[in-house]
Amino acid sequence: MKKRLGIISLFIILFIAFIAVWNFSYQIGKEEAYIPFERSTEVSSIIPSEKGVFERSEHALDYANMPVDENHQRSLKHYYDNRAYHGAPPSIPHPIKDEMTIGANTCLKCHENGGFTEKFNAYAPVVPHPELVNCRQCHVPTNASGVFRPFEHRSVVAPKAGINNALAGSPPIIPHQIQMHENCLSCHAGPSAPKEIRVTHPERINCRQCHVPNNKEMTDIGTFKRAISNE
Amino acid sequence: MYTSLTNRRSFIKKMAAAAAMTAAATMFPGIVFAKEQEAGIPSGNLDWKKGPCRFCGVGCGILVGVENGKAVAVKGDPNSSVNKGLLCVKGYHQTMCIQAKDRLEHALVKKNGTYVKTPLNEALDLVASKMKETIEKHGKDSVAMYTSGQSTIPEGYVASKLMKGAIGTNNLDCNARLCMASAVAGFLTTFGADEPMGCYEDFDYADYYVTWGNNMAEMHPVLFSRMLEQKNKRGSKIIDFATRTSRSSAASDKSILFEPQTDLAVGNAICYEIIKNGWVNKTFVEKHCNLSKGLTNMGYGLEDNYSFTDKPEKINFEEYKAFLEDYTPEKVAKISRVSVKDIKYLASIFGDPNKKVMSLWCMGVNQHTRGTWMNNIIYNIHLLTGKISQPGNGPFSLTGQPSACGTAREVGTFTHKLPKGVVMNPEHRELAAKIWKVPVERIPAKPTYHTTEMFRAVDRGDIKFIWTQVVNPLVSLPRTSRFRPGMEKDSCFVVVSDVFPTPTTDVADVILPASWHIEKSGLYGNSERRTQHWDKMIEGPGETTPDAWMTIQVAKRMGYGDLFPYSEENHVEEIYNEYRQFHEGKKHGMAPLEVLKKESGVIWPYVDGKSTQWRFNAKFDPACSNGEDFHFYGKPDGKAVIWQRPYEPAAESPDEEYPFWLNTGRVIEHWHTGSMTRRISVLHKAMPHSYVEFHPKDAKALGIRNGEKVKVSSRRGSCVLPASINERGLPTQGQVFVPFFDENMLINDVTLDAFCPISKEPDFKKCAVKIEKA
């Protein structure tokens, strides 16, 4: 009898211990699962990276001396139409030969330096970030028309060309953000550049000498304010 | 088929035409550029007025479009050989600051702690009576004036005449002390004559551009574009030698990074290699050079009333060679972190007799506790190889301010200077007394306060009246943490002339409303000895008045009217004509005003209607008179000096408590303390506040993320700024970089007031700091 009571109480102790341990680890687990997300209260930095600022500048004189092929010019509308919204990665508007290959072997052959493609009767746009070769991570083809279910999407208003000068005749500011496309010449020079935004002076490769970002898309930072003032 | 053929034909035709046009465009890009810019300007009654740009020492020619009395557009002047029609982002938008809402339009006088709007005449009465009263009570040396490398030539001239000629004190210095003093001391010790021997045309001939601690892509962008153009067209090479990877490094053919302060050692190692490999131009050195050494272990001027005078001593070539034994590439590589290979590569560029080399530098070399030495060492390299004073070959000291050369250096708004020569020289004093029509005894022979010492004297209470013009010392001085409380003291009456409120006007007793650049006439002188004139283009608001005229008004009120017989409408012209007399002759002749009004600037010496582009070279310079190819006529024996200058450590180096170097500087968007450029919306939006740059490895070790607020502190003070990693620039490991333009984040509270003992120019590039999360 004593022995049986001992065994039962041992099991009871084990059972209580189990519940306690389980409870404890459950609570710990719950805490661990919650990783607080620290939101920075400071204004995010709006100074763009200098990365790639002089890339493709070795082609600047070629760009300057290249004649304009008026029959095969892209327009800014065409440029924007190929994107879900302004700033989104463009989709692939042409059929793709091989679904298995990525980047360097295929896409970059045409898109690293551009050039005329007989088959599509167009100049291939130049990629501003050729170092990222997993192209189809972001760029997908359009294989169907229409939508799965109707949706509402308010698109970002895309900047317009020709209205970005602070003074009459002053160099236009950069009206878009430049992350992933810090290299100006890839979109603004050469035969694939949309005609409205093709630079007339690609040989001036130090673009940000005259054109500075003014990124209303991110934050409007207002005018300069003095922190301390006696007035 | 048929259509496609014509298409092809017309296409080929167009192609040929376009090719011809663009070929012309790439040959004269600036000129076509200005025309094209004009195409974007609506046709109206625009009146284009010429002048020099307000921001930086390059001295680009600008054309300001004026419509109905308002400046509405700016374009590059295609006739200016400096910029050929191109400007930078500051230049294109410069006139926009005039419309700022907090423009100082009226005089303000502090009464019981608040500023009261006062008629300008009354304010000037008060300034004059205070100045007079202070002199009567405490003597001439209790009043001081602090001006600027942005003052126009007439403004600097009347300030010098008032202080040195009328009152009779040498208490006049200017902010060019903070940027160009080492360059001046370098020129005077090596050549005996200030300012570069070459000109910007050198860019068009040089095969190599070696930039010494100089981020030209942001600080001298138009000249940098000229280099890029040559790089693309002729294959010229840019070698960036710096302590920070910048936009300039990105565009250069080779970027070489060195440990702060070790440029002295690397420079000597280059000389060592040149001699060792037999690359010395022996005939040039024998005919045109002397060798000298000076005192060493000079100290750093950290204590008040520090003084130093160098004692030059002639040496021979063997002694110099023996001295350089300490600077073999192997030894220097250890302290400089520059590889032996890179040192030898640098030396080989200078050593190749078939390559033309330009050295370019600005604040990295000048703002240096051994700034004069560093200037000397660069000249040594060029003198040893004979690569000097020839098209495409030469050392080129760049300036920061639009008239650092024209006003600060040529008019001489330093304590030791006169419009020609120095106060210590009796002949120079006599010439000044003669032209100024004052007794020669009135001009004191002893210099008084250089900038740092001047503000120390304000803090000590020795200076009881100070008038600052065109300058914002409480943002730009080193160690403002000492000088701000100093200027706030009641012991000193502070008069500030400015266009906008600044931290300096905040401590003023009287604020005088100055005219901005194009609201007055004036003259500037740029880095290549080019003097540029402009006429008043628009009317200023309220009671704004040109600085020169306010100085004249105060002088008249103090009883010196007979020395300042200028008229309000024509004072610029009258003053310039008087000033020109100082520089008559083949060595420094200035162009007459009629020529300056017509041309987009003229280079001095202007002799027989011609600019002298390369001084000291008999082929180009009519002042050469020794019958040889070269004549360094600044020195009595016509020879330049190769100086033996060692490496010495910085005034304050990182240690355990303060483990990082602090480097400060500028960004392309803002001009100096930002009082003007931050009021231009385009520039403010592109660069809204300052930041502290880290090397990514340092940031990682400290656990600092991009944009996070950090506290940078030194033994003097601290400053809180957002961190910047991999954005505008990349300092070397163990170093942080902060732009100084932001008055809301005063990094100069942290910097050190150590200076070069010879030039008295402070070192803003090196002090020790620690970093904490704020």
List pLDDT tens digits, range B256-295: 999 999 999 999 999 999 999 999 999 999 999 999 999 9
- Contacts A214 to B, Cβ<8 Å: 682, 685-686
- Looking up tokens 């109206």 gives B44
Query: Has B520 been labeled as part of a binding site?
Result: yes
- Contacts A67 to B, Cβ<8 Å: 11, 14-15, 18-19
Q: Hey, are the CB atoms on A168 and B72 less than 8 Å from each other?
A: yes
Among chain A residues, CA nearest to B43: A168
**Across the interface, which of A42, A65, A211 has its CB nearest the CB of B23?**
A65
Q: Hey, are the CB atoms on B33 and A204 less than 8 Å from each other?
A: yes
Predicted-complex ipTM score: 0.80
Q: Does A7 have pLDDT greater than 90?
A: yes
Domain ranges of chain B: 1-29, 116-178+402-611, 181-295+308-398+630-644, 660-773
In the structure, what pLDDT confidence band is assigned to residue B5 with cuts at 50, 70 and 90?
Answer: very low
Fold equal for B116-178+402-611 and B181-295+308-398+630-644: no
Q: Hey, are the CB atoms on B728 and A47 less than 8 Å from each other?
A: yes
Of A58-62, A136-140, B622-626, the range with the highest mean pLDDT is B622-626
Q: Does A228 have pLDDT greater than 90?
A: no
Peptide bond into B154 cis (omega under 30): no
**Across the interface, which of B11, B41, B707 has its CB nearest the CB of A169?**
B41
The pLDDT tens digits of the residues spanning B366-406 come to 999 999 999 999 999 999 999 999 999 999 999 999 999 99
User: How close, in Å, is residue A128 to chain B by CA atoms?
Assistant: 17
In the structure, what pLDDT confidence band is assigned to residue A216 with cuts at 50, 70 and 90?
Answer: low
| Mean pLDDT for the stretch of residues B749-762 | 97
Q: For residue B1, what pLDDT is reported?
A: 36
- Strands B709-713 and B768-773 come out as antiparallel
- Lowest model confidence (mean pLDDT) among A185-194, B43-52, B65-74, B734-743: B43-52
What are the contacts of B573-579 at 24+ separation with CB within 8 A? B573/B521, B575/B153, B575/B154, B575/B157, B575/B158, B575/B548, B576/B153, B576/B154, B576/B523, B576/B533, B578/B157, B578/B435, B579/B153, B579/B154, B579/B157, B579/B411, B579/B419
The pLDDT tens digits of the residues spanning B425-463 come to 999 999 999 999 999 999 999 999 999 999 999 999 999
In the structure, what pLDDT confidence band is assigned to residue B163 with cuts at 50, 70 and 90?
Answer: very high
- Contacts A221 to B, Cβ<8 Å: 684-685, 688
Bridge partners, residue B344, by sequence: none
Q: Does A57 have pLDDT greater than 80?
A: yes
User: How close, in Å, is residue A222 to chain B by CA atoms?
Assistant: 7
User: How close, in Å, is residue B631 to chain A by CA atoms?
Assistant: 39
| Mean pLDDT for the stretch of residues B481-488 | 96
Which regions of B638-752 does DSSP assign to beta strands (E)? Answer: 640-644, 660-665, 692-694, 709-713, 718-725, 730-731, 735-739
The two structure tokens encoding residue A63? 């760009």
Residues B115/B511, Cβ–Cβ less than 8 Å: yes
Q: Measure Cα distances from B365 to B8, B177, B211, B359, B368 in Å.
A: 58, 14, 10, 12, 6
Among chain B residues, CA nearest to A39: B708
Residues B509/B526, Cβ–Cβ less than 8 Å: no
Query: Has B492 been labeled as part of a binding site?
Result: no
Q: Hey, are the CB atoms on B688 and A46 less than 8 Å from each other?
A: yes
Rg of the Cα atoms in chain B: 26
Cβ neighbours of residue B162 under 8 Å, at least 6 residues apart?
B145, B551, B554, B555, B560, B564
Mutate to test the interface with A, among B7, B9, B12, B22 (most CBs of A within 10 A): B22
Q: What angle do CA B396, B478, B765 make, to 5 degrees?
A: 50
- Contacts A230 to B, Cβ<8 Å: 115, 501, 506
Query: Has B261 been labeled as part of a binding site?
Result: yes
Query: Has B311 been labeled as part of a binding site?
Result: no
Query: Under CATH, which architecture does the B181-295+308-398+630-644 domain have?
Result: 3-Layer(aba) Sandwich (3.40)
In the structure, what pLDDT confidence band is assigned to residue A180 with cuts at 50, 70 and 90?
Answer: confident
Q: Does A220 have pLDDT greater than 90?
A: no
- Contacts B89 to A, Cβ<8 Å: 171, 208-212
Q: Does B66 have pLDDT greater than 80?
A: yes
- Count of positions (residues) in chain A: 231
- Contacts B25 to A, Cβ<8 Å: 64, 201, 203
Q: Does A144 have pLDDT greater than 90?
A: no
Residues B292/B640, Cβ–Cβ less than 8 Å: no
Query: Has B497 been labeled as part of a binding site?
Result: yes
DSSP one-letter string for A88-103: SPPPB-S--S-SS--G
Q: Hey, are the CB atoms on A204 and B29 less than 8 Å from each other?
A: yes
Mutate to test the interface with B, among A63, A185, A230, A231 (most CBs of B within 10 A): A230
Please, which residues 42-101 of chain A have a Cβ atom closer than 8 Å to chain B? 42-51, 53-54, 57-58, 60-61, 64-71
A-B contacts (CB, under 8 Å): 186
CB-count burial class (<10 Å; 0-12, 13-18, 19+) for A12: exposed
Q: Hey, are the CB atoms on B501 and A68 less than 8 Å from each other?
A: no
Q: Which amino acid is at B31?
A: I
- Lowest model confidence (mean pLDDT) among A129-143, B138-152, B285-299, B681-695: A129-143
Q: For residue A88, what pLDDT is reported?
A: 87
| Cα-Cα-Cα-Cα dihedral sign, residues A141, A143, A147, A149 | negative
Task: Give the residue with greater pLDDT, A152 vs B421.
Answer: B421
Return mean pLDDT, chain A.
84
Task: Give the residue with greater pLDDT, B221 vs A132.
Answer: B221
| Mean pLDDT for the stretch of residues A158-173 | 89
Mutate to test the interface with B, among A165, A177, A212, A229 (most CBs of B within 10 A): A212
Distance of CA A58 to the CA centre of its chain: 25
Among chain A residues, CA nearest to B115: A231
| Mean pLDDT for the stretch of residues B161-175 | 98
**Across the interface, which of B18, B709, B726 has its CB nearest the CB of A49?**
B726
Residues B304/B456, Cβ–Cβ less than 8 Å: yes
Query: Under CATH, which architecture does the B660-773 domain have?
Result: Beta Barrel (2.40)
| Mean pLDDT for the stretch of residues A118-125 | 92
Query: Under CATH, which architecture does the B116-178+402-611 domain have?
Result: 3-Layer(aba) Sandwich (3.40)
User: How close, in Å, is residue B773 to chain A by CA atoms?
Assistant: 13
CB-count burial class (<10 Å; 0-12, 13-18, 19+) for A112: middle
Distance of CA B118 to the CA centre of its chain: 35
Q: Does A141 have pLDDT greater than 90?
A: no
Q: For residue A27, what pLDDT is reported?
A: 83
Query: Has B230 been labeled as part of a binding site?
Result: no
Q: Does B165 have pLDDT greater than 50?
A: yes
Q: For residue A85, what pLDDT is reported?
A: 84
- The C-alpha atoms of residue B216 and residue B60 are separated, in whole angstroms, by 15
Number of neighbouring beta carbons within 10 Å of residue A219: 12
Q: Hey, are the CB atoms on A229 and B11 less than 8 Å from each other?
A: no
Q: Is A166 on the interface with B (CB under 8 A)?
A: yes
User: How close, in Å, is residue B496 to chain A by CA atoms?
Assistant: 14
Q: Would you state the torsion angle of the CA atoms of residues B92, B98, B101, B105, taken in this order, to the nearest 10 degrees?
A: 170
- The C-alpha atoms of residue B517 and residue B538 are separated, in whole angstroms, by 10
| Cα-Cα-Cα-Cα dihedral sign, residues B457, B458, B460, B465 | positive
- The C-alpha atoms of residue A213 and residue B727 are separated, in whole angstroms, by 14
Query: Has B533 been labeled as part of a binding site?
Result: no
Return mean pLDDT, chain B.
94
- Contacts B728 to A, Cβ<8 Å: 47, 50
Query: Would you name the residues of B annotated as active-site residues?
Result: 90, 179-180, 363, 400-401
Query: Has B690 been labeled as part of a binding site?
Result: no
User: How close, in Å, is residue B686 to chain A by CA atoms?
Assistant: 5
Q: Is A145 on the interface with B (CB under 8 A)?
A: no
DSSP B204: G
Q: Does B96 have pLDDT greater than 90?
A: yes
Query: Has B175 been labeled as part of a binding site?
Result: yes
Among chain A residues, CA nearest to B706: A45
